Amino acid sequence: MNADRMAWIRQRLQGLDPVTLDVQDESHLHAGHAGAAGGAGHFRLRIVSPRFAGLNRVARHRLVYDRLADLMPTHIHALALQALTPEENSAPTT
């Protein structure tokens, strides 16, 4: 069932023109968690998009959450989110 949810997440985020979109299901790490009891999943998302240029972290997260709003909280309980521009993604780490 979480494979369907991951596909739904990917589909809804295509509108942000992602260069990179990595969705990981981390639900198994939260077994027994109160939020997982209802069947909603825990996901980690890394998205790289030129649409994030000039936006702060909160604005980027809002764009993502707006696209996933219909999946919360019934299908997505928790979302760990990293949203980067292509330039930030290719910047060397120190």
Three-class DSSP labels, the chain: CHHHHHHHHHHHHHHHCCCEEEEEECHHHHCCCHHHHHCCEEEEEEEECHHHCCCCHHHHHHHHHHHHHHHCCCCEEEEEEEEECHHHHHCCCC
Asked if the structure places residue 1 within a domain, the reply is: yes
Asked if the structure places residue 9 within a domain, the reply is: yes
Asked if the structure places residue 70 within a domain, the reply is: no
Q: What is the pLDDT of residues 62-92, one digit of tens each?
A: 999 999 999 887 888 889 999 999 999 987 7
Asked if the structure places residue 92 within a domain, the reply is: no
Residue 38 scores a pLDDT above 70: no
Asked if the structure places residue 64 within a domain, the reply is: no
Domain count, the chain: 1
Range of the domain at 8: 1-31+39-51
Asked if the structure places residue 78 within a domain, the reply is: no
